[in-house]
């Protein structure tokens, strides 16, 4: 199984790896800093380089438990040693968006006890769906003001992996309505110091101030206690 380097270091821009398997432009490495599309977060883009030849990576997914890189051409083979470089501008935007989503979900949960029923993080704008009866646009604006206060506090963000038995009864740790996948023995926790802890597998900034201003774009009443907000970063 590929060693997911991004889980320990979201700021890793380059890495070395060995090709484990390749077929029809689909490449599996022994380790990677490329984030595969999951959890509402877009996949990283970038390139793999071997002996000066570049292979453009336009998508990364998880298939059968493996992280698969989709290259623009064939040519790599098992055992090849490569250098990987991720599109840092794209990654950093996603890191900021993902941390912003955690700040917002923490505030919505605190104020309304809402859980996340869906989300999609984008480069220019993102959305989160909450299972709350509340649909008060002024309240939503107040929540965003509180989120921007948390950004200005410049709180540190830490990542840890803990046994699931240690946190399974901590309801505040889980913000997803659907809960966690069954069979997990360990859970990766993203903690915003003195503010929030969430089980999460994505990439994040180190300090909340890096997020920048979070702006409410729109809110929709999707019915059946489902409220959708759209937001962007300035």
One domain for residues 35 and 119: no
pLDDT tens across 49-103, in order? Answer: 999 999 999 999 999 989 999 999 999 999 999 999 999 999 999 999 999 999 9
One domain for residues 118 and 209: yes
Q: How many CB atoms lie within 10 A of CB 234?
A: 8
pLDDT tens across 161-205, in order? Answer: 999 988 888 877 888 888 878 888 999 999 999 999 999 999 999
Q: What share of the chain is helix, strand, coil (3-state, %, to 5)?
A: 25, 40, 35
Give buried/exposed letters for 150-180 (b at 16+ CB in 10 A, else e).
bbeeebebebeeeeeeebeeeeebbbbeeee
Distance CA 119, CA 117 (A): 7
Any idea what the CATH number is for the domain that residue 55 is in?
2.40.30.130
One domain for residues 76 and 99: no
One domain for residues 126 and 53: no
One domain for residues 155 and 223: yes
Banded pLDDT at 142 (limits 50, 70, 90): very high
Which residue, among 169, 162, 168, has the nearest Cα to 189 in the 3D structure?
162
pLDDT at 158: 97
% pLDDT > 70, the chain: 100
Distance CA 47, CA 55 (A): 5
Strand order in the sheet with 196-199: 157-163, 186-192, 196-199
26 to each of 17, 85, 104, how far by Cα in Å? 15, 17, 36
pLDDT tens across 158-170, in order? Answer: 999 999 988 888 8
Banded pLDDT at 115 (limits 50, 70, 90): very high
Any idea what the CATH number is for the domain that residue 124 is in?
3.30.980.10
Of 86, 109, 133, which closes a domain?
Answer: 86
Domain span holding position 27: 3-86
| Cβ partners under 8 Å of residue 201, min gap 6 | 7, 38, 39, 188
pLDDT tens across 119-139, in order? Answer: 999 999 999 999 988 889 999
One domain for residues 82 and 96: no
Distance CA 10, CA 206 (A): 9
pLDDT at 173: 81
Of 86, 121, 147, which closes a domain?
Answer: 86
User: Up-side HSE of residue 140: CA atoms within 13 Å toward CB?
Assistant: 22
One domain for residues 53 and 96: no
One domain for residues 67 and 176: no
Distance CA 125, CA 164 (A): 33
One domain for residues 118 and 229: yes
Of 21, 56, 86, which closes a domain?
Answer: 86
How many independent structural domains does the chain possess? Answer: 2
């Amino acid at each position: 199984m590929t060693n997911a380097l991004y889980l320990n270091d979201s700021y890793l821009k380059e890495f070395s790896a060995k090709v484990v398997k390749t077929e029809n432009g689909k490449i599996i490495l022994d380790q990677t800093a490329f984030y595969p599309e999951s959890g509402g977060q877009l996949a990283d883009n970038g390139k793999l380089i071997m002996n000066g030849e570049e292979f453009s990576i336009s998508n990364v997914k998880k298939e059968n438990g493996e992280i698969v890189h989709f290259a623009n051409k064939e040519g790599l083979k098992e055992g090849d040693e490569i250098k990987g470089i991720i599109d840092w501008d794209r990654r950093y935007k996603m890191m900021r968006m993902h941390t912003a989503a955690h700040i917002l979900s923490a505030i919505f949960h605190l104020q309304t006890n809402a859980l996340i029923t869906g989300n999609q993080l984008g480069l220019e704008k993102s959305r989160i769906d909450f299972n709350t009866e509340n649909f008060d646009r002024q309240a939503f604006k107040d929540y965003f003001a509180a989120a921007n206060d948390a950004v200005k506090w410049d709180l540190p963000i830490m990542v840890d992996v803990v046994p699931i038995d240690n946190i399974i009864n901590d309801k505040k740790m889980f913000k997803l309505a659907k809960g966690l996948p069954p069979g997990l023995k360990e859970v990766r926790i993203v903690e915003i110091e003195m503010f929030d802890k969430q089980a999460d597998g994505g990439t994040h900034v180190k300090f909340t101030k890096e997020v920048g201003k979070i702006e409410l774009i729109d809110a929709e009443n999707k019915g059946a206690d489902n409220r959708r907000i759209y937001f962007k970063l300035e």
